[in-house]
Amino acid sequence: MKKQFIILCFLFALSVEFTFAVEQRFPRPDFESGYVQPEPTSPAARAAAWQYIDIAVLILTLSLSSWLVLQRRSRNLIFTLMLFSLWYFGFHRQGCICPVGSIQNVVAALFDPAYAIPVTVVVFFIVPLIFTLFFGRTFCAAVCPLGALQDAVIVKPQKIPAWLNQVLGLIPYLYLGFAILYAATGAAFLVCRFDPFVGFFRFGFNEGMFIFSIIIILIGMFIARPYCRFLCPYGVLLKWLSMLSKKHATITPNECIQCHLCADSCPFEAIQIPTPDKYPGDTTRTRRQLYLLLALTPLIVLISAWSFSNLSVLLSREHYIVQLAEQIRLEDSGQATSITDASKAFRGAGATTQELYLQAAQVQRQFKTGSWLLGAFIALVFMMKLIYLQFWRRRTDYEPDRANCFSCGRCYAACPKEHERLRELQGVLYSEDI
């Protein structure tokens, strides 16, 4: 009902414009030479059929990727599929809409009553999540064009310290929080604005983004997939779901012989090595730390929420209406150094300053609530991370870290058991080859 109402409002607004325009186009000259007035052309937007082809390609590539990761176990084929996705979703589709950015459209649909989200965008958001919930991050492995571009430029991956890995790994949560806040308030689509790869797909950058893109690519040659690991907000959702997934890529096709060969093959440091039999630390101390953290969590969450709520006015400055209201206020009080195009446009449009201030106050209230939630969310993520680190689970085998494994398949070839399997598949004795 709401949707229909919005569409009706839109059409009504259009019809009002038309009556106005009909008035304007009078009078038309009387041509005597038989001249026929041409009509302006209106080249069509991308045909709707392409949307369905995109969805079909998305589902096909996800299925194929999952099969390659879980059944076929072939890094070469995964890489080939990844290149295809890079071409199709990246260079052919030119980046939009991608599941990473679609988070914001979904958020906008939930919070902005005037925004009706296209079905395609919902599908692009949901389908990779479902696949991840069942098969792990096979989307990252060979479907995401952003991941594919980074995967293709990995030249000499370096290990980074574990603590740094953990700390940087928290950035995506921050990014996700901010992206949701800004999308929900209608201020901006941050993820799209700071997408370092879409410029490559379109061969068009602005100056700032060009430098950022180049830095990410250069870093990506030595620290594998930096955006995926330390920025991607969609990766946060995929992490959570991958930890719960029904199936997941395994390093060895059957049993782990604990040879350690796989551990160095992963450029993302997403392979967990076996632990000692007994917890190496002081159990009582760890437990005390855990209780302390649990007790502190509500307090820290509150402090953080409060701190962020104090920043809400600052954060709201990114919103168009707040910027405009601020400018108008400065101009009206004689403090403005210059008049902007936006204030000129506003004054030309005939809305009253009072209405504008009311709208801006409304936006700032939304930011106030949003900042409370954002602060609480960020503190909660940090505390959960600290709490999680107190837990210890015994591991006997080499296993992929489900949260951080991209299912890229690089480790398959490192496993002696895998070679055994392949030889058996081909009916060749393993020993002959040596």
Partner 1 sequence: MKEADEKPVHRRQFIKAGLHTTAALAIGGLAGMALSKSAPANLVWQIDPDKCIQCERCATNCVLNPSAVKCVHKYAMCGYCDLCGGYHRPGTKNLDTAAESQQCPTGAINRTFIEEPYFQYTIDEKLCIGCGKCVKGCGSFGNGSLFLQVRHDRCVNCNECAIAKSCPADAFVRVPANKPYLFRGGVAGAEPPNPLSGEAS
Partner 2 sequence: MKIQSGRKTLATVLVMLVIAATITWLGYHSLTRKPAPTGDNPFEYDIETYRHVPEEMIRYTQIRQIPVNLDKLLALAVAADKRICVSGDNKILQYDADGKIARSFNLTASAQCLAIASNYRLFLGVGNHIEIYDTTGALVKRWPPFDANSFITSLAVTHEAVFAADAGKLIILRYDLNGNLLNKIGEKDTTRDIPGFIIPSPYFDVAVDPDGFIWGANTGRLLLENFTPEGGPRSHWGTSSMRIEGFSGCCNPSHFAILSDGSFVTAEKGLERVKIYDRAGQFIAVVAQPSLFRQGTAGLDLAVDSDDCIYVLDSGARQVRIFQHKNSING
Chain residues 309-328 in contact with partner 1, contact rule CB under 8 A: 320
Angle formed at CA 99 by CA 98 and CA 105, multiple of 5 degrees: 90
Angle formed at CA 314 by CA 311 and CA 315, multiple of 5 degrees: 85
| 413 near partner 2, rule: CB under 8 A | no
DSSP 294: H
Q: What is the C-alpha radius of gyration for the chain, rounded to an integer number of angstroms?
A: 27
Gap between the Cα atoms of 180 and 27, Å rounded: 50
Q: Considering only residues 363-382, where is the footprint of partner 2 by CB under 8 A? A: none
Site map (CB under 8 A) of partner 1, residues 196-235, x = contact: --xx--x-xxx-----------------------------
| 425 near partner 1, rule: CB under 8 A | no
Q: Which two tokens stand for residue 267?
A: 């450029």
| 156 near partner 2, rule: CB under 8 A | yes
Q: Which two tokens stand for residue 92?
A: 């052919």
Tell me which of 84, 368, 392, 417 binds partner 1, using CB under 8 A: 392
Minimum Å gap between C-beta 402 and partner 1 is 11
Nearer to partner 2, 103 or 328 (CB): 328
Gap between the Cα atoms of 117 and 380, Å rounded: 30
DSSP 93: T
Nearer to partner 1, 79 or 89 (CB): 89
Tell me which of 4, 22, 27, 427 binds partner 2, using CB under 8 A: 27
Q: Considering only residues 45-74, where is the footprint of partner 1 by CB under 8 A? A: 45-46, 48, 51
Q: Considering only CA atoms, which of 128, 149, 146 is closest in space to residue 57?
A: 128
| 29 near partner 2, rule: CB under 8 A | yes
Write phi, then psi, for 271 (nearest 5 degrees): -110, 125
Gap between the Cα atoms of 315 and 323, Å rounded: 11
| 217 near partner 2, rule: CB under 8 A | yes
Site map (CB under 8 A) of partner 2, residues 180-199, x = contact: -------------------x
3-state secondary structure of 399: strand
Tell me which of 39, 207, 355, 433 binds partner 1, using CB under 8 A: 39
Tell me which of 203, 278, 284, 388 binds partner 2, using CB under 8 A: 203
Count CB neighbours of 425 within 10 A: 8
Interface residues toward partner 2, by CB under 8 A = 23-24, 26-27, 29-30, 153, 155-156, 199-200, 203-207, 210, 214, 217, 221, 347-348
